[in-house]
Amino acid sequence: MASTGILVRRNTAQTLRKLRPLAIMMALAIAILLIADSVVSAGIARYSKSVTSDSSLNMVQVSSITSGSMKPITKGSLDEFAGIPHVADVYGWAQVDLTIDNPAQWPGSDNPGALWGTPYIRGVSPKITDGSVGQNGPGLGEIILPRSSSFGDFAPLLGQTVRFGYTQMISPGNGALATIDLKVAGMYDNSTPGADGTQPSYISSELLAQLISSRQFGNADMSDSDALPFDRAFIKPEQPDNLSDIQSAVSGMGYGVFSIANQIDSLPGLFRLLSFVTWAVGIFLVLFCVGVGGSMGGSWINQRVREVGILKAVGWPGGAISRAFCYELALVGAAIAVCGVTAGVLGSLATTTIVGAMDLELLRVEPWTLPNALWIASTLLIVPAFLCLGALRSAIGVARMDADSALRDL
Amino acid sequence: MSILTLAGVSKRYRDASGRSHRVLSHFDLDIGRGEVVWLRGQSGSGKSTVLNIAGLLSTQDSGTRHIDGQDLTAPTQGLAAETRRTKIGMVFQHSNLLPELTAIENVQIASIVKRTEKDVMERLSELGLAGVAQQQAKQLSGGQQQRVAFCRALVNDPVILLADEPNSGLDEKNTTSIRNALSAAADRGCAVLLASHTSAFETIVSRTLDMEDGRIG
């Protein structure tokens, strides 16, 4: 019909007014879904990634000792590991003794405060609680100290440049005290014992290599020597799925290998399940509302026999009436979806900003996070389609009514 | 030439208790171009049933029906709708406008071709409705609504105009306006079948048929 647009436009506005409570409920459900997606799902995904990719779960720990033999880990070994396919990073692990040189800076009045210089390895080393440290740990001239020790508190040293003493080999079997100035860039949480022994301090791998080389007689330069010894090594795969292949490759080279992921292999599955449950709850919520909407839309159309009678009397065919009703419900659905998505996007921006600022351990989200674009697109398509389909049966039913019967309802 | 022919038309209705009631019995009617036929009779005499059958809103139990030379005794739903749209204009006792639509839009939805507001406005102006054309139907008075309904019925230049108690509840001024509209339609060659129990249209009718118990009296 030439005038379908006129009828649909007018009726859409009318239907939105009549079904306002339902429309608001559906728009709210959509908004809640999008907000939940951007906050909870993103939080779970982020936490899952952090746990499975940026932690010791996603590390292969290499030792020089196997059941039958011993193979030293050297700088050359690290280069070999780095050449294995899908290896993202390789870290040598060793400890060097460090002491605070200035007695005035000792945590205890009669104790120099022995610290063990340890390479900072992201995901393995403990959490840094204070200070300003880059994402990849301390820089070459920086050090991270424990927050406290049994002798006293290191916190006053935060931000200061401290002179540390260490042992330098001057001849076979003879060492002498050498010093190095390092800025205390941060404090780590040592409230629970870690895997790095008693009272470690954290330095960069480059600095560790320098200090180890000075332990070698003749100050051997790290870059020229493949012989610098490490007690252990850590290998980070590009993806958690690459872990077992890398483990096999390293094992094949004669080293001892170990990974926590082998022991907690159900964790990634748990995160996938959590993400799926959040997704399924969201889908259920939307489909429930759409189902209710379709049902109420159908009921609303069933009440419009009078309108059908008039349209038939002026010559509208049944098919044109059904189509007009379907277009109308689709437009109503589109209006609801647009309102819901708008509210969801604004709500997501606001909620992620608030939740992000709260810095929750289990729900780390980036501020100003938008909902998933796929969700937005799906919502904009699914809601109008389902409302239209939900009302289709009623629309066809009333449009098939005999004109006389419809008018008799007047 | 006959525009509307009903021959031997009978119709029964069943009430809520399932009992059958005869409303038309062997009814014959023949209306020519430009003719105004007045169906006169008491309530329940079958006037509205004749109009519904003539307007293809209802089917007869027996008898034949021809409109503009075409046999429409048992048309398909699609053919019935097309015929209503292109050849028949109907005005009901109550205007039966869509209340949310404006006067212009109520006319536009009946048009078989896309008509601009200006085009429709001209037609509404002829019935003195220019000032209310943009108002929603529910905001119009009864007389204004009925005139809009006339405009809607005539928008496709039908060959037959069916009017069922078109002046019901209207004052003399509005009744006059509707009478003039009916007369003008007949002057243009439209066959007019009018059902009314008042004599308000007596001056323009060509023929009067008195109905009683579903028959011509």
Question: Shortest Cα distance from B107 to chain A (angstroms)?
Answer: 10
How do beta strands B191-195 and B160-164 pair?
parallel
The total of other beta-carbon atoms located within 10 Å of residue A61's CB is 19
Sign of torsion over alpha carbons A6, A8, A13, A15: positive
Whether the Cβ atoms of residue A212 and residue A229 lie closer than 8 Å to each other: yes
- pLDDT beyond 70 at A271: no
The mean per-residue pLDDT over the stretch A379-408 comes to 84
Residue given tokens 């424990």 in the structure block: A146
When CB atoms are compared, the residue of A2, A13, A318 closest to B114 is A2
When CB atoms are compared, the residue of A310, A317, A403 closest to B78 is A317
In terms of Cα–Cα distance, which of B87, B56, B70, B77 is closest to B153? B87
Pick among B48, B79, B109 to test the A interface (most A CBs inside 10 A): B109
Name the band, by pLDDT with cuts 50, 70 and 90, for residue A223.
Answer: very low
In this prediction, residue A51 carries a pLDDT of: 66
In whole angstroms, what is the distance from residue A92 CA to residue B15 CA? 96
- pLDDT beyond 90 at A212: no
% of chain A beyond a pLDDT of 70 = 87
In whole angstroms, what is the distance from residue A80 CA to residue A244 CA? 17
In whole angstroms, what is the distance from residue A26 CA to residue A110 CA? 70
| Residue of B167 and A291 predicted with greater confidence | B167
Whether the Cβ atoms of residue A390 and residue A326 lie closer than 8 Å to each other: no
- pLDDT beyond 80 at A246: yes
Ordered by where they begin, the domains of chain B are 34-59+77-216 (3.40.50.300)
In this prediction, residue A398 carries a pLDDT of: 83
Q: Which residues of chain B have pLDDT under 70?
A: none
In this prediction, residue A214 carries a pLDDT of: 79
The mean per-residue pLDDT over the stretch A229-240 comes to 86
Round the average pLDDT of chain A to a whole number and report it. 82
Interface contact B52-A317, CB threshold 8 A = no
Structure token digits, residue A340:
């819901």
Structure token digits, residue A60:
């292969």
The total of other beta-carbon atoms located within 10 Å of residue A166's CB is 19
Interface contact B82-A403, CB threshold 8 A = no
Write the pLDDT tens digit of every residue in A74-103.
888 899 999 999 998 999 999 888 888 888
Long-range contacts of A88-92, Cβ-Cβ distance < 8 Å, separation of 24 or more? A88/A236, A88/A237, A88/A238, A89/A235, A89/A236, A90/A233, A90/A234, A90/A235, A90/A236, A91/A119, A91/A121, A91/A205, A91/A233, A91/A234, A91/A235, A91/A236, A92/A119, A92/A205, A92/A208, A92/A209, A92/A228, A92/A230, A92/A232, A92/A233
In this prediction, residue A219 carries a pLDDT of: 46
In this prediction, residue A112 carries a pLDDT of: 65
Q: What is the dihedral of CA B14, A306, B109, B93, to 10 degrees?
A: 70
Helix axes A318-358, A4-18, angle to 10 degrees: 50
In terms of Cα–Cα distance, which of A276, A357, A363 is closest to A46? A363
Residue at A99: amino acid letter: T
In terms of Cα–Cα distance, which of A381, A408, A324 is closest to A14? A324
Domain positions in chain A are 2-52+268-409, 57-263
What are the counts of helices (DSSP H) followed by strands (DSSP E) for chain B?
A: 6, 10
Residue at B4: amino acid letter: L
In this prediction, residue A85 carries a pLDDT of: 93
In this prediction, residue B182 carries a pLDDT of: 93
When CB atoms are compared, the residue of B59, B81, B96 closest to A310 is B96
- pLDDT beyond 60 at A226: no
Interface contact A316-B85, CB threshold 8 A = yes
| Residue of A408 and A241 predicted with greater confidence | A241
Non-local (6+) Cβ contacts of A176 within 8 A are: A167, A168, A170
Write the pLDDT tens digit of every residue in A113-162.
678 899 998 878 888 888 888 878 899 999 999 887 777 788 888 999 99
When CB atoms are compared, the residue of A13, A309, A314 closest to B110 is A314
Round the average pLDDT of chain B to a whole number and report it. 92
In this prediction, residue A36 carries a pLDDT of: 83
Name the band, by pLDDT with cuts 50, 70 and 90, for residue A240.
Answer: confident
In whole angstroms, what is the distance from residue A327 CA to residue A366 CA? 40
Whether the Cβ atoms of residue A246 and residue A237 lie closer than 8 Å to each other: yes
The mean per-residue pLDDT over the stretch A167-178 comes to 80
A311 contact residues in B (CB cutoff 8 A): 109
| Residue of A394 and A311 predicted with greater confidence | A311
Coil, strand or helix at A329 = helix
Pick among A3, A312, A322 to test the B interface (most B CBs inside 10 A): A3
How do beta strands A174-188 and A161-171 pair?
antiparallel
Write the pLDDT tens digit of every residue in A9-63.
989 998 899 889 889 988 998 898 888 888 877 777 676 666 666 666 778 888 8
Global model pTM greater than 0.80 = no
In this prediction, residue A221 carries a pLDDT of: 46
First-to-last alpha carbon distance for chain B, in angstroms, is 25
In this prediction, residue B131 carries a pLDDT of: 93
First-to-last alpha carbon distance for chain A, in angstroms, is 23
Whether the Cβ atoms of residue A340 and residue A28 lie closer than 8 Å to each other: yes
Whether the Cβ atoms of residue A308 and residue A321 lie closer than 8 Å to each other: yes
Bridge partners (DSSP) listed for residue B21:
B13
DSSP A186: E
In whole angstroms, what is the distance from residue A107 CA to residue A156 CA? 9
Name the band, by pLDDT with cuts 50, 70 and 90, for residue A220.
Answer: very low
Name the band, by pLDDT with cuts 50, 70 and 90, for residue A261.
Answer: low
